[in-house]
C-alpha cells in the first residue's frame, strides 16, 4: 500500500465511536493482523453503541468532523442485551434529520462489526474514508 499522501488531496476528519465489546476489539484484531487502513478516523471507545448520544454526533460535525461512524455488535450479541438496537433506531432517525440540514447520509454511518471481524473493520473504515473523501469537506455555518 502506498502510504505517501498527496498534499493537495482532501484528507477528511472522521470520528468513530467503537463499542468496547466488539468493534474496539475488532480494531485491535486488525492491528494484530497488520492490515493497513486509512488513518483518517479518530476512534473513541464507548462502553456500548447505545451510549452514543446523538448530541455527540452533532457536536462532532460542529467541531469540524467531516463524517461520523458508529460501530456496534451484531443483533443479539450486545453485552447489555439491546444497546445496539437503541443505537440503530437513533441512527436511522438521525439520518432523516441530517438530510433536512443538507448533510449527506454517507457522513453518518452505522454498521455491525464483531470482535472477530478484523477484516470487516478494515473494509468498513476504508470504504467510509473513501466515500467522505469523495463528498469533500463538510461546511457548516459558513466555515
Partner 1 sequence: MTKKPGLSMYWASSCGGCEIALVNINEKILEVIDKFDFMFCPCLLDTKKKDIEALPDKSIEITLFNGAVRTEENAEMANLLRKKSKILIAFGSCSNDGCIPGLSNLYSAKDHFDTIYLNNPTVSNPGGIVPQRETEVPEGTLHLPEFYDTVRTLSQVVDVEYFIPGCPPESNQIWDVINSVIEGVKLPPKGSVIGAGTSTVCDECEKIKEDKKIDRFYRTYEIIPDTKKCLLEQGIICMGIATRAGCGSLCPKVNMPCSGCYGAPDGVLDQGAKMIAALGSILNLEGDLTEEEITGHTNKIMDSIPDYAGTFYKFSLAGSILKNSVRK
Q: Which residues bind partner 1 (CB under 8 A)?
A: 50, 53-55, 57-59, 61-62, 74-76, 82, 85-94, 96-97, 100-103, 112, 138-142
Contact indicator for 39, 12 with CB cutoff of 8 Å = no
Closest to partner 1 by CB, 1 or 139:
139
Three cell numbers, residue 137? 469537506
* CB hemisphere CA count around 83 (13 angstroms): 21
Closest distance of CB 2 from partner 1, Å: 32
Q: Residue 58 CB: number of other CB atoms within 10 A?
A: 18
Closest distance of CB 15 from partner 1, Å: 14
Contact indicator for 40, 93 with CB cutoff of 8 Å = no
Closest to partner 1 by CB, 32 or 142:
142
Q: Residue 13 CB: number of other CB atoms within 10 A?
A: 16
Closest distance of CB 88 from partner 1, Å: 6
Closest to partner 1 by CB, 45 or 59:
59
Amino acid at each position: 500500500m502506498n502510504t505517501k499522501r498527496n498534499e493537495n488531496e482532501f484528507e477528511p476528519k472522521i470520528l468513530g465511536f467503537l463499542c468496547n465489546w466488539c468493534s474496539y476489539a475488532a480494531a485491535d484484531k486488525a492491528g494484530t493482523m497488520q492490515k493497513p487502513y486509512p488513518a483518517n478516523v479518530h476512534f473513541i471507545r464507548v462502553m456500548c453503541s447505545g451510549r452514543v448520544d446523538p448530541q455527540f454526533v452533532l457536536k462532532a460535525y460542529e467541531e469540524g468532523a467531516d463524517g461520523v461512524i458508529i460501530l456496534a455488535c451484531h443483533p443479539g450479541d450486545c453485552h447489555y442485551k439491546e444497546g445496539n438496537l437503541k443505537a440503530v433506531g437513533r441512527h436511522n432517525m438521525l439520518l432523516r434529520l441530517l438530510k433536512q440540514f443538507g448533510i449527506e447520509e454517507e457522513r453518518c454511518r452505522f454498521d455491525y462489526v464483531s470482535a472477530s471481524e478484523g477484516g470487516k473493520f478494515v473494509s468498513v473504515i476504508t470504504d467510509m474514508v473513501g466515500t467522505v473523501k469523495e463528498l469533500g469537506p463538510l461546511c457548516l455555518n459558513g466555515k
